[in-house]
Chains A and B, each alone.
Chain A
Amino acid sequence: MDEVQALFQGFAVALSPVNIGLMFVGILLGVLIGVLPGLGGANGVAILLPLTFSMNPTSAIIMLSCIYWGALFGGAITSILFNIPGEPWSVATTFDGYPMAQQGQAAQALTAAFTSSFIGALVAVLMITFTAPLVAKFALKFGPPEFFAVQLLTFCSFVGMNKGAPWKTLAAMFLGFTLAAIGMDNVTGQLRLTFGFEPLMKGFDFLIAVIGLFGIGEILVTMEEGLSFKGKSAKIDAKVVLETWKKLPRYWATYLRSSLVGCWMGITPGGATPASFMGYGIAKRFSPNGKNFGKGEVEGVLAPETAAHAAGTAALLPMLTLGIPGSPTAAVLLGGLLVWGLQPGPLLFVEQKDFVWGLIASMYLGNIAGLIVVLLTVPWFAAILRIPFAIIAPVILVICAVGAYTVHSSMFDVWLMLVFGVMGYVFKKLNYPLAPLVLALVLGDMAENAFRQSLLGSGGSLMVFVSNPLVGSITGLAMVMLLWPFIGQLLGKMRRRPKDIDDDDVVEV
Chain B
Amino acid sequence: MTQHDPDDGHGRSPTAATRRTLEIITAFAFMLLGSLVMWDSHRIGAGWTEEGPQSGYFPFYIGLLMNIASLINLLKALRANREIPFVSRAEIRLVLAIFVPSLVYVGFMQWIGLYVASAVFIAVFMRWQGKFSVLKSGLTGVIVSVILFGMFEIWFKVPLIKGPIEAALGY
**A and B are interacting partners:** yes
Q: Across the two chains, which residue of chain B brings its CB closest to A185?
A: B55
Q: How far is the CB of A228 from chain B (nearest CB, A)?
A: 9
- A406 engages B66 (CB within 8 Å): no
- A430 engages B8 (CB within 8 Å): no
Task: Give 9 A-B pairs besides A51-B158, A195-B40, A409-B161 with Cβ atoms closer than 8 angstroms.
Answer: A175-B30, A178-B34, A187-B55, A394-B121, A398-B144, A406-B152, A418-B103, A432-B26, A456-B53
- A388 engages B37 (CB within 8 Å): no
- B62 engages A402 (CB within 8 Å): no
- B48 engages A460 (CB within 8 Å): yes
- A224 engages B126 (CB within 8 Å): no
Q: List 28 A-B contacts (CB under 8 A).
A: A170-B66, A174-B63, A178-B37, A178-B66, A190-B44, A192-B44, A192-B55, A193-B36, A220-B95, A388-B130, A390-B125, A393-B98, A393-B125, A394-B98, A394-B122, A397-B121, A398-B122, A405-B161, A406-B160, A409-B159, A411-B110, A418-B102, A430-B26, A451-B58, A452-B52, A455-B52, A460-B48, A460-B53
CA distance A225 to B1 in the complex (A): 12
Q: Is the interface of B mostly helix, strand, loop or mixed?
A: helix
3 closest A-B pairs by beta carbon, nearest first, are A390-B130, A226-B9, A174-B66
CA distance A393 to B53 in the complex (A): 47
Q: Does B15 lie at the interface of the complex (its beta carbon under 8 Å from any beta carbon of A)?
A: no
CA distance A426 to B24 in the complex (A): 12
Q: Does B112 lie at the interface of the complex (its beta carbon under 8 Å from any beta carbon of A)?
A: no
CA distance A174 to B94 in the complex (A): 32
Q: Across the two chains, which residue of chain B brings its CB closest to A181?
A: B59
Question: Which residues of chain A are near B76, meaning CB under 8 Å?
Answer: 167, 503
B54-82 toward A: CB 8 Å interface, digit per residue (1/0)?
Answer: 11111100110110011011001000000
CA distance A345 to B110 in the complex (A): 40
CA distance A187 to B160 in the complex (A): 34
Interface residues of B in 88-102 (CB under 8 A from A): 90-92, 94-95, 97-99, 101-102
- B9 engages A181 (CB within 8 Å): no
Which residues in B have some Cβ–Cβ distance to A below 8 Å?
A: 1, 8-9, 19, 22-23, 26-27, 30, 33-34, 36-37, 40-41, 44, 48, 52-59, 62-63, 65-66, 69-70, 72-73, 76, 86-87, 90-92, 94-95, 97-99, 101-103, 105-106, 109-110, 114, 118, 121-122, 125-126, 129-132, 140, 144, 148, 152, 156-161
Question: Which residues of chain A are near B33, meaning CB under 8 Å?
Answer: 175, 178
A149-187 toward B: CB 8 Å interface, digit per residue (1/0)?
Answer: 000000000000000010110110011011001000101
Q: How far is the CB of B8 from chain A (nearest CB, A)?
A: 7
Question: Which residues of chain A are near B103, meaning CB under 8 Å?
Answer: 418
- A430 engages B22 (CB within 8 Å): yes
Q: Does A401 lie at the interface of the complex (its beta carbon under 8 Å from any beta carbon of B)?
A: yes
- A188 engages B54 (CB within 8 Å): yes
- B26 engages A223 (CB within 8 Å): no
- A178 engages B59 (CB within 8 Å): yes
A378-400 toward B: CB 8 Å interface, digit per residue (1/0)?
Answer: 00000000001011011101100
Q: How large is the interface on A (under 10, 10 to 19, 20 to 34, 35 or more residues)?
A: 35 or more
Q: How far is the CB of A94 from chain B (nearest CB, A)?
A: 19
- A51 engages B129 (CB within 8 Å): no
Question: Which residues of chain A are near B160, meaning CB under 8 Å?
Answer: 402, 405-406
Q: Does A429 lie at the interface of the complex (its beta carbon under 8 Å from any beta carbon of B)?
A: yes
- Among A170, A174, A460, max chain B CB count under 10 A is at A174
CA distance A168 to B157 in the complex (A): 42
Q: Is the interface of A mostly helix, strand, loop or mixed?
A: helix
Which of B70, B98, B110 makes the CB contact (< 8 A) with A223? B98
Q: Does A267 lie at the interface of the complex (its beta carbon under 8 Å from any beta carbon of B)?
A: no
Question: Which residues of chain A are near B40, meaning CB under 8 Å?
Answer: 192-193, 195
Work out how many contacts link A and B, with CB atoms closer than 8 A: 176
CA distance A429 to B22 in the complex (A): 10
- A390 engages B95 (CB within 8 Å): no
Do A181 and B161 form a contact, CB below 8 Å, given A171-B73, A220-B99, A224-B87? Answer: no
CA distance A175 to B26 in the complex (A): 12
Interface residues of A in 205-254 (CB under 8 A from B): 216, 219-220, 223-226
Interface residues of A in 407-438 (CB under 8 A from B): 409, 411, 414-415, 418, 421-422, 425-427, 429-430, 432
Which of A171, A395, A398, A455 makes the CB contact (< 8 A) with B30? A171
- A452 engages B118 (CB within 8 Å): no
- A456 engages B70 (CB within 8 Å): no
- B62 engages A401 (CB within 8 Å): no
Q: How far is the CB of B29 from chain A (nearest CB, A)?
A: 9
Question: Which residues of chain B are near A485, meaning CB under 8 Å?
Answer: none
Q: How far is the CB of A405 from chain B (nearest CB, A)?
A: 6
CA distance A188 to B48 in the complex (A): 13
Question: Which residues of chain A are near B44, meaning CB under 8 Å?
Answer: 190, 192
Do A401 and B130 form a contact, CB below 8 Å, given A185-B55, A190-B55, A429-B87? Answer: no
Q: How far is the CB of A112 from chain B (nearest CB, A)?
A: 33
Do A170 and B114 form a contact, CB below 8 Å, given A190-B44, A429-B86? Answer: no
Q: Does A448 lie at the interface of the complex (its beta carbon under 8 Å from any beta carbon of B)?
A: yes
Question: Which residues of chain A are near B152, meaning CB under 8 Å?
Answer: 402, 406
- B109 engages A411 (CB within 8 Å): yes
Question: Which residues of chain B are near A472, meaning CB under 8 Å?
Answer: none
Q: Does A133 lie at the interface of the complex (its beta carbon under 8 Å from any beta carbon of B)?
A: no
Interface residues of A in 8-63 (CB under 8 A from B): 50-51, 54
- B94 engages A223 (CB within 8 Å): yes
Which of A175, A395, A451, A503 makes the CB contact (< 8 A) with B66? A175
- A188 engages B73 (CB within 8 Å): no
CA distance A421 to B100 in the complex (A): 12
CA distance A451 to B148 in the complex (A): 44
Do A390 and B129 form a contact, CB below 8 Å, given A175-B66, A192-B40? Answer: yes
Do A170 and B98 form a contact, CB below 8 Å, given A175-B30, A193-B40? Answer: no
